[in-house]
Amino acid sequence: MPPSGPNGTLPGAVNLVARGSARKVFVDMFFVESSCLANTRRCSRPGHRWKVAGDSPMAPVGLTDARLRAARHIALQDPIARRVIGNATRIVEVAPWNSCGGVFLGGMLEVMLFRPIHVSGDLPFVSFGKEKRGRAYADGTIHYDLSGVDQVNVNVDLRRHRVVGIDPTGTDVHALDYHVVKRPTPEGPRDSATCPNSG
């Protein structure tokens, strides 16, 4: 990729590695909008290390329109999401979340962790099969007990101003327990479209 940033001084894409971690997290620098790009001294002080990229106005990653900024804020202030993610070193990317029929619902965050974590507890989830019954999605609650989680996907419904799905996943996840606590019920605007692979 060609370079980006002021005077073409930054690579177009980078693989980030956290101290003590072998996992590489890919970041497309064309989707990084940050005051760091305009004033690199502000972010490149000697001895300064980033703990988080993407959940700070200093270093957002991904698309940054007002609706997605709102979705990011709701997701990262949600007490359940905060409990799951904790203080992990991470990259946070946000993208639009649309229904099967293309109706804008809110934002979907991908929280990519540099080190795997253990996740245990009841989490909200969304589904797009027959259970949505003519709505945009259905939401319920599922109990997870997982190890090896290195990515957490968070769905934010901006119409409801809340997190409706938290999906812990990763490249080498081991499920110790996994069962539905509350069956999904239809939510969101009307949308009779069927998502691919929704069953």
9 part of a folded domain: no
- At 33, the pLDDT band (50, 70, 90 cuts) reads very low
At 9 the pLDDT is 58
Q: What residues make up the domain containing 95?
A: 52-190
Residue 139 lies in a domain: yes
197 in a domain, yes or no?
Answer: no
Answer whether residue 199 is part of any domain.
Answer: no
Q: Which amino acid is at 115?
A: R
Global pTM value: 0.76
In a domain, 196, yes or no: no
Mean of the per-residue pLDDT values for the chain? 80
Taking only the tens place, the pLDDT of each residue in 63-102 is 557 898 899 899 989 999 999 998 887 778 888 999 999 9
When pLDDT is averaged across residues 130-136 and rounded to a whole number, the result is 93
Specify if 132 maps to a domain.
yes
Yes or no: say if 155 and 168 are a contact pair by the CB < 8 Å rule.
no
What is the share, in percent, of the chain residues with pLDDT greater than 70? 67
Find, among 104, 108, 131, the residue nearest to 189 by Cα: 104
- Phi and psi for 74 in degrees, rounded to 5? -60, -45
Confidence band for 1, pLDDT divided at 50, 70 and 90: very low
Residue for token pair 């200093």: 58
Q: Do 147 and 181 contact (CB within 8 A), yes or no?
A: no
> Containing H/E element for 129?
none
Say if 4 falls within a structural domain: no
Which residue type sits at 104? F
Residues 6+ apart with CB under 8 A from 17: 23, 24, 25, 114
The residue length of the chain stands at: 199
- In the predicted structure, residue 13 carries a pLDDT above the cut 50: yes
Specify the number of domains making up the chain: 1
What percent of the chain is modeled with pLDDT above 90? 50
Residue 149 lies in a domain: yes
Residue 180 has pLDDT above 80, yes or no: yes
Question: Is it the case that residue 150 has pLDDT exceeding 50?
Answer: yes
- Per-residue pLDDT, averaged over 6-23, amounts to 63
Q: Is residue 23 over pLDDT 80?
A: no
**What local confidence, expressed as pLDDT, does residue 88 receive?**
81
More confident residue, 25 or 112: 112
Strand partners, 58: none
Q: How far is the C-alpha of 169 from the C-alpha of 34, rounded, in Å?
A: 28
- CA angle 146/149/150 to nearest 5° reads 175
Given a cut of 80, is residue 167 above it in pLDDT? yes
pLDDT given for residue 32 in this prediction: 52
> Per-residue pLDDT averaged across 139-166, rounded?
96
For residue 37, pLDDT beyond 60? no
